[in-house]
Amino acid sequence: MRAIVSVVGKDRMGIIAKVSGLLFSIDINVIDLSQSVMNDYFNMIMLVDTSRCTKKFEEISTALNTLGTEIGMSIKIQHEDIFNAMHKI
């Protein structure tokens, strides 16, 4: 299954490394990502493949939320289909 991970917060060094490192540690592959910094605020969206991950989606979400708290960022994950449905006009 593919999912969208979004990361938002005050910019600091190591954000991409920490988020991608967590995803790697639980067998989630980053397919694509886009990131930008606007007025010291970091914004990243990642398309990921969770098909090799053995954790439940809720466990993945919890792990990302925990990391977000640790590094002072908001980190969310959504199923790709839900993300796409929310962004249709």
The answer to whether the Cα torsion of 59, 81, 77, 34 is positive or negative is positive
- Going by pLDDT thresholds of 50, 70 and 90, the confidence category of residue 74 is very high
Q: What pLDDT does 37 receive?
A: 97
Q: What are the chain's domains? A: 2-86 (3.30.70.260)
Does the structure show a pLDDT above 80 at 86?
A: no
pTM for this model (two decimals): 0.89
- Going by pLDDT thresholds of 50, 70 and 90, the confidence category of residue 80 is confident
The answer to whether the Cα torsion of 41, 46, 52, 53 is positive or negative is positive
CA 36, chain centre distance (Å): 14
- Over residues 24-57, the pLDDT tens digits come to 999 999 999 999 999 999 999 999 999 999 999 9
Q: What pLDDT does 87 receive?
A: 66
